[in-house]
Amino acid sequence: MSDDDTEFTGSNDVEGDDTHGFSTDFGDTELGDDEPKQGLFDDLLSGEPIFENKEVLRPSYTPHELPHRSDQINKMATILVAALRGETPSNILIYGKTGTGKTASAKFVSKELESTSQKYSVPCDVEYINCEVTDTQYRVLAQLANKFIEKNKERIDERIDSLEDLLEAVEEYEDGAAPSADGSEHFDYPDEFADASESDVSTGDDNRDTSSEFPVETEGYSDGDTAGESGATADGDAEPSHPLASTPFDSVTEIEDRIDSLEEDKDSFEDVPMTGWPTDRVYNVFFDAVDYDERVVVIMLDEIDKLVEKSGDDTLYNLSRMNSELENSRVSIIGISNDLKFTDFLDPRVKSSLGEEEIVFPPYDANQLRDILEHRSDVAFKDGALSEDVIPLCAAFAAQEHGDARRALDLLRTAGELAERSQAETIVEEHVRQAQDKIELDRVVEVVRTLPTQSKLVLFAIILLEKNGVHSINTGEVFNIYKRLCEEIDADVLTQRRVTDLISELDMLGIVNAVVVSKGRYGRTKEISLSVPLEETEAVLLSDSRLSDIDDIQPFVQARFEN
Ligand SMILES: Nc1ncnc2c1ncn2[C@@H]1O[C@H](COP(=O)(O)OP(=O)(O)OP(=O)(O)O)[C@@H](O)[C@H]1O
């Protein structure tokens, strides 16, 4: 709706209100009790929205297609296909800068792996852990243990269900009620069969082969070798075979015993609390939970460098040596990292085991980013909502920033939101430029907000100098103001050398610009200037409760000239 005057009015004729039409006043007194308060959102909704489905531009959305990543995806699949053959896949390390599609590709491949494993009844589980959130050995192991305990319990329940069905079938059979002619009484218990034969069949392959003799959709037990009976046929003419005929059970008691032992197994699993146990106990519970069933387990550790940085390489060491001790299952690890150098901090054994295969995700170039955006925009926007130059501009901006697809998608979404907010009908180049500024400002706000207090004080000193028209600020000047600020809020005063380091860190974060200039025979000095918008940055600093105590800032700047 472009007419501001009509912002909160609405045509409510359709609602049949014949008394006072539609009021622009939404106060309770104006509307009868049973009258709906309507119109506040109606106009906003009635404007033709730019978006068809904004969700597909959000980071949480997992795309079905990943253009320009087929090489990496195929390589991963070639390595992981071993899991579907019951073998242990090599461990994989995936590297690449932020937004290059590492997580999206790894999740895509693992989804495919799990669905194919279900299709062929090959037990394979993939577990994903984000080590930025789960960043200690305890938490990683506890999370994995609990996930596998949950899976084990689900599988046990399925097995018990199918055994109970089997018991029922036996009962009906013995009562003389023959199974229905279409074979619908037939049971599928491949898992249970595999399970019951655990004691006498030692390898996974044997189990899988045997279980595949009992396909889900089979028409009847025509191969009744065990019972030596002629099988029941689909047309129901022949004598139906005994429900236990092709099962490993000889009697109802055996089935009941099996159910009891499964119930016991289920009760024996104890969830790991998120704190409090010794780590080796957590490891043992995790180990037993993984080894409960025969399967290949792929553990995906995203942001693996954060885990190593925070808590060393013990977790990786423990995970990578597990296979030599596991009896039933096999574990393979996929590590994902932005940081190419994190393996320098690893124990050489962990390093070689983890990096059996390495896959690099290069940054996207502008053309590739264009393709990615075009794929998404077809679904995300209404027809005609995008003017021609929008996608190329988003792609070009994001390509300048190390080819980050996340940034490109953010830009496109934010440009759309800005266009929507200004009630424009199409997104144009200007919206993209505004979006670029907004994202940049949001980044700055976030970085400044999370700085340690000492860095905030140093930055505040620079801001105060700039605000008072000081150009080419040097470290000594920053230090003097910084010292006064510390005294004002009772903070420890760091040495000038340390303050110089903090200035370099601010430089690296892109908040200030510090260039070394030669002053001839007076040596070299740093000239510092602010690289971010002054007012917004100052507002963020003052929103920190400690810094907001500094009330009269003017005298501090005088100090610069006094010192
Ligand atoms: N080839 C692609 N096609 C479509 N979307 C992609 C592609 N590559 C990345 N994306 C999208 O870009 C965003 C970032 O991707 P992803 O999270 O996989 O990056 P990453 O390399 O794991 O980054 P980080 O290291 O920061 O976690 C996601 O929304 C993802 O869906």
pLDDT tens-digit map of 113-143: 999 999 988 889 999 999 999 989 999 999 9
Q: What is the pLDDT of residue 10?
A: 35
Detail the residues annotated as belonging to a binding site for ATP: 100-104, 364, 376
Helix residue ranges per DSSP H, 278-404: 279-291, 304-311, 314-321, 348-354, 366-380, 390-400
338 CA: nearest ligand 1 atom: 25
- CA separation for the pair 335, 354 (Å, rounded): 8
DSSP structural state of residue 93: E
Contact by Cβ (8 Å): 411, 436: yes
Give residue ranges with CB within 6 A of ligand 1.
Answer: 59, 63, 66-69, 96, 98-104, 338, 372, 405-406, 409
Per-residue confidence (pLDDT) for residue 176, from 0 to 100:
73
pLDDT of residue 231: 40
- The pLDDT score that the predictor gives to residue 547 is 87
**Ligand 1 centroid to residue 59 C-alpha, Å:** 8
> Residue 529: helix, strand or coil by DSSP?
strand
User: Ligand 1: which residue has its CA nearest to atom 9?
Assistant: 101
> For residues 39 and 479, which has the higher predicted lDDT (pLDDT)?
479
Q: Which of 223, 242, 230 is nearest to 179 (CA)?
A: 242
User: By alpha-carbon position, which residue is closest to atom 2 of ligand 1?
Assistant: 66
Residue 62, pLDDT > 90, answer: no
What average pLDDT does the segment 345-360 reach?
88
- Atom 10, ligand 1: residue with shortest CA distance: 101
User: Which of the two residues, 522 and 329, has the higher pLDDT score?
Assistant: 329
Candidate from 406, 409, 411, 413 with most ligand 1 atoms within 8 A of CB, to mutate: 406
How many Å lie between the centroid of ligand 1 and the Cα of residue 61? 10
Task: Report the nearest-CA residue for atom 24 of ligand 1.
Answer: 98
List the strands of the sheet with 296-302, edge to edge.
Answer: 124-130, 296-302, 330-337, 92-96, 357-361
Task: Give whole-number Cα distances, 220 to 180, 193, 245, 253, 360, in Å.
Answer: 11, 17, 11, 24, 51
Atom of ligand 1 nearest to the CA of 59: 29
Closest CA to 295 of 125, 490, 549: 125
Of ligand 1's listed atoms, the one at least distance from the Cα of 371 is 3
Q: Residue 480: which H helix or E strand, with range?
A: helix 475-489
Mean pLDDT for all residues in the chain: 80
Size of the chain in residues:
563
- Span of 19-33, 249-263, 416-430, 455-469 with lowest mean pLDDT: 19-33
Q: Which domains does the chain have, with CATH numbers?
A: 1-47 (no CATH), 54-59+364-446 (1.10.8.60), 69-363 (3.40.50.300), 451-562 (1.10.10.10)
Protein residue whose Cα sits closest to atom 13 of ligand 1: 406
pLDDT tens, residue by residue, 514-561 = 988 877 777 777 899 998 889 889 999 999 888 887 765 655 555 544
Q: What is the distance in A from the centroid of ligand 1 to the CA of 105?
A: 8
- DSSP SS3 for 513: strand
Task: Note whether 112 and 105 are within 8 A (CB).
Answer: no
Atom of ligand 1 nearest to the CA of 101: 18
Closest CA to 445 of 310, 543, 332, 315: 543
Cα separation, 375 vs 369, in Å, equals 10
**Chain position carrying tokens 């589980």:** 125
pLDDT tens-place string over residues 296-316: 999 999 999 999 988 888 999
Nearest to 355 by CA among 373, 335, 369: 335
Whether the predicted interface score ipTM is above 0.95: yes
DSSP 343: G
Mean pLDDT, residues 499-518: 90
Pairing status of strand 524-530 against strand 512-518: antiparallel
Cα(388) to ligand 1 centroid in Å equals 24
355 pLDDT above the threshold of 80: yes
Q: What is the Å distance from ligand 1's center to 5 Cα?
A: 43
Least confident of 40-44, 56-60, 161-165, 281-285: 40-44
